[in-house]
Amino acid sequence: MIKENLNVRILHHHFAVISKLELILKTILITGADGFLGKNIFLKWQKQFHLKAFILPENKNAFQHFLANNAISADVIAGKFSDSTALASALENAHYVIHCAGNMLGAKWDRYFSANVESVRLLLDKIPSSVERIVLISSQAAQGPSPDHKKITIDTPSAPLSFYGKSKLLGETIALEHKTTCPITILRPCSFFGPFDKSFLDIFKMAKKGTFGTLFDKEKFFQLLYVDDLIAAIALALKDTAFRSKYFVAPAEVLSWQNFYDALVEITGKKLLWVNLPPFVARIYLKFFDLIEIASGKPQILGHDKARDMSQKYWICDSTPFIDKFAFKPQFSFRDGVQQTWMWYNEKKWI
């Protein structure tokens, strides 16, 4: 019953936002559509828009399988951003572009630069006049952590720490300075989670086994957004009126690992053994993933570069400008989001 009520709330919320913005029947191109955010956008907007997907060729079969399993009709164009013919085909007749494509895996700068910087430049170089606005999905990591308990603002000088954050900031800079006449809205969401997410997956896997694991300092403060609320924010951003704009997107509530632990204890119905790796041990642990990457050739979610972000105490930002301008209000409490994600992981046998 809880799941049914939440699903009704999701649909009503998205229909209200989309109907209000009069975006029905528009063609929207989603780059990186086969990723965590992209898949959720397709699931939520499949009946409201004509959706197009631009994905890497090696991911096409798996993505078409996802579309078929969910009875989603969409145009899928496979190619790299350096493939001007494929990119032009993807952009043809598009009214809006949501640039979700990017990389957050691995220990090599080249991967981040190609996916988070060059992709932006190549995309903007090809934008046709039919596109009314681009929404660029950046990250709070492009700003960097807050030095203390005060939320950083969008005007705070950026000081990213990791390859991921630095590359996202470079992508933003290209977007803000590009000669294209197409309006661009940059969204810097805080960390977000939900169905298909792999970044927080291990936390849920551990909870399933009765443990809760953290790295560095047990006392950390951050904001988390459920993916459906981020998608609602993207819908609002499509009708931004500014030529160039940039916003943090995050709930007002500041959380801690204790809040995450308490939510999982309540949802799982069992006490979890909390295991925290102190800084020295945590860095050795994360370095181990770099060795796995070297041995396997497969980029990892974790690694020594991620330690630069993960070791920070405060990841908190002020999203008031976005909230005030667009009347944005997250529909999911943190606990609701955790419960929805927990149920999805279990249903799909991810945990």
Assigned token pair, 63: 């993505």
Q: How far, rounded to the nearest angstrom, does the alpha carbon of residue 10 sit from its chain's CA centroid?
A: 18
What's the mean pLDDT when you consider all of the chain?
94
Whether the CB-CB separation of 88 and 130 falls below 8 Å is answered with no
For domain 2-196+226-250+316-332, which CATH number applies: 3.40.50.2300, 3.30.70.20, 3.30.465.10, 3.40.50.720?
3.40.50.720
Question: In angstroms, what CA-CA distances link 215 with 92, 124, 259, 351?
Answer: 46, 39, 16, 21
Residue 18 predicted with pLDDT over 70: no
Whether the CB-CB separation of 186 and 297 falls below 8 Å is answered with no
**What number is the average pLDDT over the span 240-269?**
97
Q: What is the pLDDT of residue 77?
A: 98
**What number is the average pLDDT over the span 54-83?**
96
Residue 112 predicted with pLDDT over 90: yes
Q: What is the pLDDT of residue 64?
A: 96
Token look-up 């995050």 returns 250
Q: What is the pLDDT of residue 9?
A: 54
**What number is the average pLDDT over the span 89-112?**
97
**What number is the average pLDDT over the span 278-282?**
96
How far is it, in rounded angstroms, from Cα 317 to Cα 151? Answer: 4
How far is it, in rounded angstroms, from Cα 240 to Cα 243? Answer: 8
How far is it, in rounded angstroms, from Cα 243 to Cα 321? Answer: 16
pLDDT in tens, 318-345: 999 999 999 999 999 999 999 999 999 9
How far is it, in rounded angstroms, from Cα 185 to Cα 172? Answer: 10
- Of 47 and 34, the structure prediction assigns the larger pLDDT to 34
**What number is the average pLDDT over the span 20-46?**
89
- Of 7 and 147, the structure prediction assigns the larger pLDDT to 147
**What number is the average pLDDT over the span 205-231?**
97
How far is it, in rounded angstroms, from Cα 186 to Cα 97? Answer: 12
**What number is the average pLDDT over the span 283-308?**
95
Residue from 234, 231, 225 nearest 193 by CA = 225
**What number is the average pLDDT over the span 3-23?**
53
Report residue 293's pLDDT band, with 50, 70 and 90 as the boundaries.
very high
Report residue 13's pLDDT band, with 50, 70 and 90 as the boundaries.
low
DSSP class of residue 5 equals: H
Beta carbons within 8 Å of 274's beta carbon, 6+ residues apart: 211, 212, 213, 214, 218, 261
Q: What is the pLDDT of residue 163?
A: 98
- The domain segmentation of the chain, as residue ranges, is 2-196+226-250+316-332
Whether the CB-CB separation of 216 and 248 falls below 8 Å is answered with no
Q: Provide the sign of the torsion angle of the four alpha carbons 284, 288, 291, 297, taken in this order.
A: negative
Percentage of the chain modeled with pLDDT above 90? 92
Residue 197 predicted with pLDDT over 90: yes
**What number is the average pLDDT over the span 287-308?**
95
Q: Which of 2-6, 160-164, 246-250 has the lowest mean pLDDT?
A: 2-6
Assigned token pair, 70: 């969910």
Residue 287 predicted with pLDDT over 80: yes
Long-range pairs of 74-80 with CB within 8 A, sequence gap ≥ 24: 74/42, 74/46, 75/50, 75/51, 76/33, 76/52, 77/52, 77/53, 78/54, 79/54, 80/56
Residue 317 predicted with pLDDT over 70: yes
Report residue 209's pLDDT band, with 50, 70 and 90 as the boundaries.
very high
Q: What is the pLDDT of residue 25?
A: 76
Residue 1 predicted with pLDDT over 50: no
**What number is the average pLDDT over the span 9-22?**
54
- Count of Cβ atoms closer than 10 Å to residue 100 Cβ: 22
Q: What is the pLDDT of residue 14?
A: 57
pLDDT in tens, 144-170: 999 999 999 999 999 999 999 999 999
How far is it, in rounded angstroms, from Cα 110 to Cα 125? Answer: 21
